[in-house]
Amino acid sequence: MNEKKIGNFIKELRLENGYTQQELADIIHVSRQTISKWEIGKSNCDSANIKLLSDLFRVTPNEIINGERNQENDIALKLYDENIKVNKKFFITFSILIFVILSYFVYYFINQYNSISIYTIYGKNKSYVINNGVLVKAKDKIYFNLGYIEPFFDYDTIELYFKIDDTKNTILKTSHPSVYLYDFKGYEEYINFKKFDEIVNNMYVEMCNDKCETLKLNLNEDYKNNSIFFPIKVSPKKEEDNNEYLSSNDKLIEIIKDKFKKKNDGYFKKLLMNDNNIYITYFEDSNIIIMENFENDIIVEDWNYDLTYNKLYYRNNIESFELEYSSLNDFRCIIGKCDLVNKYKIFFEILQRELSY
């Protein structure tokens, strides 16, 4: 047994583990002088203390007695230590990645959740009808399209405004039939973002020539991105068409295209009925059929049939009304003089006779 070699090995192990002689002595309950004598080879370390040192320094008693590490054990120990370091690095990297991902989702949720609203716009009175309008409000933008306007009188200007505390606030005034605008948060030329809800609930349209007709707009919230999970997509139920005259709008359109003359953006046909000229025009872009009755080159009445919504609008020089198809032979009068609803029969009877469907 080489006491000096054993002593040097004990010293090497002590320094590797960061102990002073006094700290090591306190752990195994001997004096500092004993530790010093072992390290310089002046005294032998008994078997009990060799066992304590081997457990403390993670070496075998034989390695202490031999004064050196077993090479195979040393390699295994290094691999074990390296594996611990790799696992620790992986855990730290994975934790950082999870933190970044969660931070992004929290940021996205705070900034985007409930940030988009889509409203449908419609309204009607005895003078005009508005439908197919849309308003989109995002976090920092607003898009507004008043939609399709069907007037029953000639007008010069359209004014879009809102009322707060009985004060009229003009948004836009124009002579153009299309009302479209967009605004930005911070710029807010048309709509104040902070007062958005109040404005939406108090929005009006006024159409004027010699007189003015006012209509309060109905804005219904159709969509809002306030679902935490993706919504389940449900296919809309297809409604059956029970109209005995217009059993299929698609079929009707095919017949019109076949029998009418193509003219500009639609299809046109002229008829003679009771010495009056009847003009029927189908506008493909808007999916509307217009029938006009002329007497001495002056229009005396017209029908406007919206194929998309199955609604019929009628007007003459005195009266106007709107009919909405609901079921077989059932046309419900919505506005105007409901005692004139039999006028719709003329429209469909002419279509049926001329188109033979």
pLDDT class of 246 with cuts at 50, 70, 90: very low
CA-CA distance, 110 to 94, in Å (whole number)? 24
pLDDT class of 22 with cuts at 50, 70, 90: very high
Burial 282-298 (b: 16+ CB within 10 A, else e): beeeeebbbbbbeeeee
pLDDT class of 301 with cuts at 50, 70, 90: confident
Q: Does residue 68 have a pLDDT over 80?
A: yes
CA-based nearest residue to 128, from 62, 83, 183, 177? 177
Which residues, 6+ apart, have CB-to-CB distance to 352 below 8 Å? Answer: 245
Burial 144-159 (b: 16+ CB within 10 A, else e): bbbbbbbbbeebeebb
Q: Over range 130-159, report the average pLDDT.
A: 86
Q: Does residue 160 have a pLDDT over 50?
A: yes
Q: Over range 89-99, report the average pLDDT.
A: 92
CA-based nearest residue to 306, from 286, 280, 326? 286
Q: Where are the beta strands (DSSP E) in the chain?
A: 117-124, 128-137, 141-145, 148-151, 157-164, 167-174, 180-184, 203-208, 212-216, 218-224, 261-263, 266-273, 276-283, 288-295, 298-306, 311-316, 320-327, 330-336
The structure tokens listed for 176 are 């153009």
The structure tokens listed for 107 are 């940021």
More confident of the two residues 321 and 132: 132
CA dihedral 95, 101, 107, 111 (to 10 degrees): -170
Backbone angles phi, psi at 9, to 5 degrees: -70, -40
Least-confidence region, from 168-182, 220-234, 241-255, 270-284 = 241-255
pLDDT class of 349 with cuts at 50, 70, 90: confident
CA-based nearest residue to 129, from 203, 207, 34? 207
pLDDT class of 170 with cuts at 50, 70, 90: very high
Categorise residue 286: left if φ over 0, alpha if ψ from -120 to 50, beta otherwise: alpha
Q: Does residue 251 have a pLDDT over 80?
A: no
Q: Over range 250-261, report the average pLDDT.
A: 83
**In this structure, is the dihedral angle defined by the CA atoms of residues 300, 304, 305 and 310, taken in order, positive or negative?**
negative
The structure tokens listed for 119 are 């409203």
Burial 98-117 (b: 16+ CB within 10 A, else e): eeeeeeeeeeeeeeeeeeeb
More confident of the two residues 309 and 190: 190
Mean pLDDT of the chain: 81
Residue 131: count other Cβ atoms within 10 Å of its Cβ: 19
Q: Over range 327-332, report the average pLDDT.
A: 44
Instruction: Give pLDDT, residue 196.
Output: 92
Instruction: Give pLDDT, residue 341.
Output: 60
CA-based nearest residue to 245, from 325, 348, 162, 108? 348
Q: Does residue 202 have a pLDDT over 80?
A: yes
Residue type, 275: D
More confident of the two residues 344 and 255: 255
Q: Over range 211-219, report the average pLDDT.
A: 91
Report the interhelical angle of 343-355 vs 249-259 (nearest 10°): 60
Q: Over range 59-69, report the average pLDDT.
A: 86
